[in-house]
Amino acid sequence: MSLTSKNECYKTISYGIKRLVKVENSIEDKLRRQAKRYNKIYPGEMLHVNTKRLPLLKN
């Protein structure tokens, strides 16, 4: 049994293309933000520090 959409706009090619453009733009924006976040000008510019305190060890 196959269900079909009652709303005809979802069956059109123009709707699918608009949706595809929207998804592609969101993926491009995400990749652009990641590239900007991790590409640094010189080595050592981005520094990670571990601040977890460990318990004292006996002996």
Query: For residue range 2-59, what is the model confidence (pLDDT) as tens digits?
Result: 666 677 777 788 888 999 999 999 999 998 888 777 777 777 777 878 888 888 888 7
- Say if 55 falls within a structural domain: no
Domain contains 30: yes
pLDDT at residue 26 in the model: 95
18 located within any domain? yes
* Total domain count, the chain: 1
Give the Å distances, CA to CA, from 28 to 35, 45, 53: 11, 25, 39
pLDDT of residue 40: 74
Q: Note the pLDDT of residue 3.
A: 64
pLDDT band of 1, cuts 50, 70, 90: low
